[in-house]
Amino acid sequence: MLHRKVRKAVVPVAGLGTRVLPGTKVTPKELLNVVDRPILSYVVEEARAAGIEHIIFVTGRFKGAIEDYFDHQVELEAQLKAKGKTDILEAMLAELPRPGEMSFVRQMQPLGLGHAVWCARDLIGDEPFAVILPDMVMDAETPALKQAIDAHRQTGSNIIVVEAVPEDQTHQYGVVALETREGRLNRMTGMVEKPAKGTAPSNLIVSGRYILQPEIFDLLETQDRGAGGEIQLTDSMFRLMQTQSFHALEYDGVTYDCGDKIGLLRANVALALKRDDLKDAAREALSPLFS
Ligand code: G1P
């Protein structure tokens, strides 16, 4: 099989962030801070480290701040420069895209994740691509998306990054079925979105990084509504599985669901404790809270 490089990533950012309201009333949830930079900053860093050359954000109404975040803030930059705060200025400038590295497309109705990904079809064209769900911040020595791309190269398959959760939580996610479970990378035989309690085919959930072939778009175009009345990516992937292979990758790393109150709190604490410039102060400030 001819392996084409995975160059583009779709990042759906149209969701409402209801689990962390009212904090997301005027701030897109993707711009909530984890330590000192927004969730999206971690995701873009991961994509770049995995060799992604073009990021396509699927946005919605009231998400304009995301586009502004990835542009110059001329007055602020001038002030930081005048005050000699070059470290902060350099950190800010390093996040900015190369001209043309980012595109923004609107999902004009909240019809579901499958519909959001489909909105990016013209910008992806006819090549394999990544999908990154930005709520899921993945902390890993080898970036999670790079692990997925390596698995795609190795197998030629569509890849879904998965992780184990307690069985009483599987109904909140997409869940995969495996042929056999040996090691971290296994051929899939099925998947289901939000299975009813007690019916999940495994405890491995679809956790937010995918490598997909472009044939998914034709299936998304005709996809009926599924769980929650939404056009589900999982349902079209299941149909694609009838003609193409899929592998599930249990990646090596830790996931923080930053769309959730406790997940966001965990990410802030854990990632501050990993930072050389913050870990001592963070430990000193936090440990009395547990004594
Ligand atoms: C989406 C996907 C689901 C996946 C989940 C991970 O669901 O449809 O398959 O397991 O993200 O967070 P949502 O969280 O949008 O309901």
CATH of 8-290, one of 3.50.50.60, 3.40.250.10, 3.90.550.10, 3.90.700.10: 3.90.550.10
Of 206, 231, 233, 235, the residue with max ligand 1 atoms within 8 A of its CB, to mutate for a pocket test, comes to: 206
Lowest mean pLDDT across 21-25, 80-84, 186-190, 255-259? 21-25
Q: How many CB atoms lie within 10 A of CB 122?
A: 10
What's the pLDDT at 117?
Answer: 98
Q: How far apart are CA 103 and CA 89, in angstroms?
A: 24
pLDDT band at 214 (very low <50, low <70, confident <90, very high): very high
141-164 confidence digits (pLDDT tens): 999 999 999 999 999 999 999 999
Please list, in sequence order, all residues whose beta carbon lies within 8 angstroms of the beta carbon of residue 214, skipping any fewer than 6 positions away. 121, 124, 125, 126, 127, 128, 129
pLDDT of residue 16: 83
**What would the DSSP string read from start to end of 29-96?**
GGGSEETTEEHHHHHHHHHHHTT--EEEEEE-TT-HHHHHHTS--HHHHHHHHHTT-HHHHHHHHHHS
Sign of CA dihedral 161, 118, 238, 126: negative
Residue 199 contacts residue 211 (beta carbons within 8 Å): no
How many residues appear in the chain?
Answer: 291
- Look at residue 237 in the predicted model and tell me its pLDDT: 98
Does position 1 have pLDDT exceeding 60, yes or no? no
User: What pLDDT is stored for residue 51 in this prediction?
Assistant: 97
Dist CA 89 CA 80 (whole Å): 6
267-280: pLDDT as tens digits: 999 999 999 999 99
**pLDDT for the residue 278:** 96
Measured between alpha carbons, how far is 73 from 290 in angstroms, rounded to an integer? 40
CA 108 / ligand 1 centre spacing (Å): 20
For residue 24 and ligand 1, the question of a CB distance below 6 A is answered with no
* The pair of three-digit structure tokens given for residue 60, joined into one six-digit string: 């919605």
Name the residue of 13, 173, 232 to mutate for ligand 1: max ligand atoms within 8 A of Cβ.
Answer: 173
Ligand 1 and 157: CB distance under 6 A:
no
| Ligand 1 atom closest to Cα of residue 172 | 16
Give me ligand 1 centre to Cα 136, in Å: 10
Cα distance from N-terminal residue to C-terminal residue, the chain? 58
- What is the SS3 assignment for 280? helix
Token digits of residue 263: 């997940």
Q: Which atom of ligand 1 is nearest to the CA of 232?
A: 8
Q: What is the mean pLDDT of the chain?
A: 95
* Structure confidence at residue 2 (pLDDT): 55
Per-residue pLDDT tens over the stretch 28-53: 999 999 999 999 999 999 999 999 99
Report which protein residue has its CA nearest ligand 1's atom 16: 173
Regarding the beta carbon of 113 and ligand 1, being less than 6 Å apart is answered yes
Backbone angles phi, psi at 15, to 5 degrees: -65, 155
20: confidence class by pLDDT, cuts 50, 70, 90: confident
The residues spanned by each domain of the chain are 8-290
For residue 233, the CA-to-ligand 1 centroid distance in Å is 9
Q: Which residues of 125-158 are buried (b: 16+ CB within 10 A; e: fewer)?
A: eeebbbbbbbbbbbbbeebbbbbbbbbbeebebb
Residue 291 pLDDT class (50, 70, 90 cuts): confident
